[in-house]
Chains A and B, each alone.
Chain A
Amino acid sequence: MDKRSNYAGSAAKQLGVYAVYLAVAMALIVYILAFFAGTSGALINGGAINEERNSITIALAEEPPQLDSTRATDASSFIVIAHTMEGLISYDDNDQLTPGVAERWEIRDNGATFWIREEARWSDGLPVTAHDFEYAWKRVVDPATAGEYAFILYPIKNAEAVNRGDLPKEALGVRAVSDLVLQVDFERPTPYFDKLVAFNTYYPVREDFFVSTNGRYGADADMLLFNGPYVLTEWIHGASMLWEKNPYYWNDEKGFLDEIVIAYITNDVNANLNLFKDGQIVQTSLTAPMLPTAMEQRWQIDRFMDGSLFFLEFNHREGRVTENLNFRKALLLAQDPSELVYKVLKEASYLPAESLFPVWIQGLQGAFRKEYPVPEHRMDLERAREHLERAKLELGINDFPPIVLLTGDSSLSLLAAEYYQELFKKNLGLELRIDAQIFKQRLAKMTSGDFDIVMAGWGPDYFDALTFGDLFSSWNLNNRGRYQSEQMDDLIRIAQSELDPKKRMDAFSSIQDLIYEDVVIVPMYERGISFVVDPRLKGFKRRSVGPQVDYNYAYIERL
């Protein structure tokens, strides 16, 4: 017995020694691997802010599919393009229009003229000319380009016809009178054209360079030419990017940093939070569950409204129960957006939505929503049930079939979907089926009309009420529910071309009322984002129109 225990003891000792060896060896391997992993990345970053090199490190949510400004449609591309390119007009650090490549401009009823500044240069040193804009715009509306944002050029004469293929692209109403003068003819009066040209799709492309890339324009760092404050010098797909100061850029009130390193491409909010905590990136967004951590870390939390509106959009196509007005009214009356925002989503920066037009839309003098208040909404279950009964009579059914609620796959949209599911079951006895899809699939289903209700969102493309106002016109392809009403179309036509601001705003107000009366949508919330920025970085902007994050005016504060 004694011997055996001795034997067991020495065996255990031996095993213990092996375990120690193993632990040491593993630690060594981990260390060595980590060392090599560190050297393999081309862009080694020295923390969020490197004062010596005057550089900052940031993270990007997604990899841009490509960076051709005439074809870009996603937020990540917009962010990169906003730092590397410049349009005729741009926004300053206070969201006001400011001259960009155009020194001055003139907008008339039937057209516009832009005078381009002589000192504007491409990143290879050659001047930016009016021809570059003419070439780019014709490319956007060329059906062969298949630009999804071509519609934003429709105010230009013949743009729609060219885009449909009815006219050759030479017929587009834009012409470079000389190297420095660009002449635009309008299809209809477009008083907000200055706001439009600040948008990405209106940015220039130089013909000779474009031709030389042989169809690969925008696919890589060396397949692009820039005219903005920064140039994209390195682009390792799926991993990182490097923007460097553009030596040829004309404006010394923009682009103060020597380098912006995009060291991380991830849309994992928790990963971003940890990177920020570790001092690896200068800025990150915060979702509701992260706020206690942020408060504990004593960060100075900031927020901004990103301008977008989220809503339940009904399918107005024939054969759907959602086509019935009383049914839609019942749903509208059985919910309360403030309960959704304050008790379910709990996002500090969200605002319960009341109208198609977000609070920030400008009216005649002040805010549109102050000048034209929305019809007051109150949850009213009795009336909701009355409408539901009426809908049953009109549709000639005893029970409603299950309603398909199409939604995104993010945790917030699932949360809202589950809330609505129980809410409409409890209040109206309706069965909702949640169809959660990734963005592309959801878009495909929205386009083909494969839903009853969809949780949709719309972000502004330019600073004008029309960016929301024309959403439910019968010809707008983004009107996924195919809502059609002559009254709406007439109002939108007035809003598009009326020159008297008062009449135009009245039209928007009527649109707002019509949306409520016809229950085209049920507004959910206006989105805002809470975020933190490294306190040493100043001048950083988040925008509702244009790029979501803007480092063009950012600089490092030296102590």
Chain B
Amino acid sequence: MRLPVAAGAATGAVAVALYPLFQTGTWFWASLGAILVVTAVGMLASRYTLPVWPVPLAQLAVFWLYLTAVFAGDTAWARVVPTKESAVELAELVATGFADIQKFAVPVPERPGITLLTCGGVGLIAILVDFCAARLRRSALAGLPLLSLFVVPASFIGDPLSWPTVVIAALGFLGLLAADGRERVTHWGRAVLVRRTPSFVAPRPAAETGTLRLSGKRVGFAAIVLAVLLPSMVPTLEPNPLFGFGVGNGNGRGGNTIGIPNAMVNLRGALSLPANSTVLTYTSSDSASRYLRLYSLDVFDGTEWTMSPPRGRPQDRTSEGPLPPAPGQGAGVPAAQATTRVTVSEEVRRLSFLPLPYPATQVRIEGDWRADVDTLMVFSTTDTAEGGTYEVVSNEPRPTAEALRTAGAAPQAISDKYLRLPEDLPDEIVRLASAVTDPDAGKYEQAIQLQEFFTSKGGFSYTLATQGHGGPALTDFLIRSRAGYCEQFAASMAVLARVLGIPARVSVGYTGGTNISGQWTVRTHDSHAWPELYFEGTGWLRFEPTPAGAAGQGSATVPIYTQPEVTTGGDDTPTANPSTGPTGAGVPSGSASNPRNPMLDRDFGGVPVAVEEGTPTAVKIGLGGVAVLLVVLIPALLRAGVLLRRRRVYSRQALRSGAAGEAGEATATALGSTGIAAVRSNRGQATVAAAWAELDDALCDYGVSRQPSESPRALARRLSEQHEFDAAAAASLARIAEAVERMLFARTLGETGSFREDVRRVRRALASTVSRGRRVRAVLLPPSMLLRIRAMGTRLLDGFDRLENIRFGRPARRNA
């Protein structure tokens, strides 16, 4: 009877793991019902010891009735008995269920089809588990169907299962194993004992099985605790969020790191490559070319633009469906949706960021790719894209000039992050920003004026023989030389935009490339950088300050919304000019960059950062160390607390009759002489007990053994002789021992005083007999406290024992 119940309980416990897959709890109750039905049949079968093979068939039949009643009751005969109609209805439900599964992402809403499938699956698992555990008596084997149920949520969510789920499921399985073990042990039969005398028939309790069970339980609990704790300590890409019930919250710590490339260095290297090799080719649903962005640089520190570490949350995997919504892009803005199919050349090495049009709404690619929620950069720490093909759906905003003109202020989060400029930004740049724009104009007009300043009015020229874009280089580019390439143009425009109060960032990637027989080809010389400016309602918009055409970045295009005077025209019409290559052939040799290196070779020149935002590993290790240290020191702290408390007690002076007078005559008269004696006796006992307990713990701490058959007096004698205590310490020890003796065995305790000095002396004498290591350990890891903690653990296990011994229904037959 016990096994079918345990099997049902195990299935139920594991089924709890399905919880994150669903939005509602209907499935659970339906599945619970299925488990109950199966278990009930199993119990009956066990009760009447039916043969093995018909039982699962009977369970299947009854389970079928249950499903009919719950899901197709209307068409069934008497709501329960299946008819042809009910079978058809169930089949249809199953079909819709499969269709729904294809349609919905987890967590799925409540759909009868899905509920039926879940309920049916759980019920079948319950039958299998019951069959393995209760019929075949192979409980360990029952772990397989349970495991198959358990991996369902794991495979769907791909997220670490929360620890309570694991614990519940593991406990369920353990319970099944324990029940099986018990059943087995009870069948062992009684041990044949050779009695010494026929009259002596002391019934031996089943002590052996008790210890077996206890140790088994300990192993089980220890395994669960390890299984839960260990993964949270081992760093992984998918940190198991400790204490986060439910689906991973994404704020996990730890994680693999990838190198964030120094985008700008790569950019110039790519542009100045003599060989213009193909990076990728793409086709798009509307045949238009698109800028493909790799990185988004959002931090300007006065020297250069850098990327703050992207955050790849588990739920932002590309395989999870749509990417996070593009920041700031409202539904009211017209947008052009297009699907682009990109094939990355095999020559590219280690491409861990995907070149994507902005804003991408969905990416279909093999592997674990994740989107950064702020920038929509898609990257991976494990996979690379070279040689692969992927599809991306983009939803480019096509705002009207009017909409941009009337755009409201950016949200605080955006302006905080994307308007930040270094304190020491040269004044000339600030002045320049206001000089080239109309201070009365709106943000949009100012942005256009900025772009015009770079492309036409400012007299800038395109050359690759420049480097840097920050600090003096920035000033030099903007004020003096006015010669540079896309890096300087993009960086400067973004800085000026920030000065003007327009949120801005720099994107690095590729221009749309060249159209070769209907397919767009992007080469290394199409590497590009451009600014993106933020307009509320539209989101991030690309601007193009770099001169295009033969005298500039060959394949660069100016977005249509930045040309307010042009009212007609196509999309970003590619110029399709043949790539001119770098104009500055003489690359300064002092540069840290080696232009001969292919594209992404100098990846990882940047600082490696954790994928997940969080504290650095060293700090984490340090914090972990401190935490472990604190945990380790808990026994020491407890021990110190106990010592202090006891010392307060055993340091009390005796309540002498004379002293009692001082304490208060009133009390004395009120209590009477016997009352005083009682009070004195209680106090004295507490004093002696505290001193003795302290001595006992001190012995334990210093590793001095104590036989259970050793009386206090014998102990005192042995210690004094064995460790050659000096006379004072020996006398102190004897005093304590005698007081304990009197407390335990004499009629009255007699007068006791403070034992403070005695305990101190004995402790010191004991300490001097042991090694220094032992002394340190006695303070830091006091064995007495560890033993007590262990005893507490044992009591806890005993509690579990009692829980387990709760019997359902009628009391089990003894010796059955």
A binds B: no
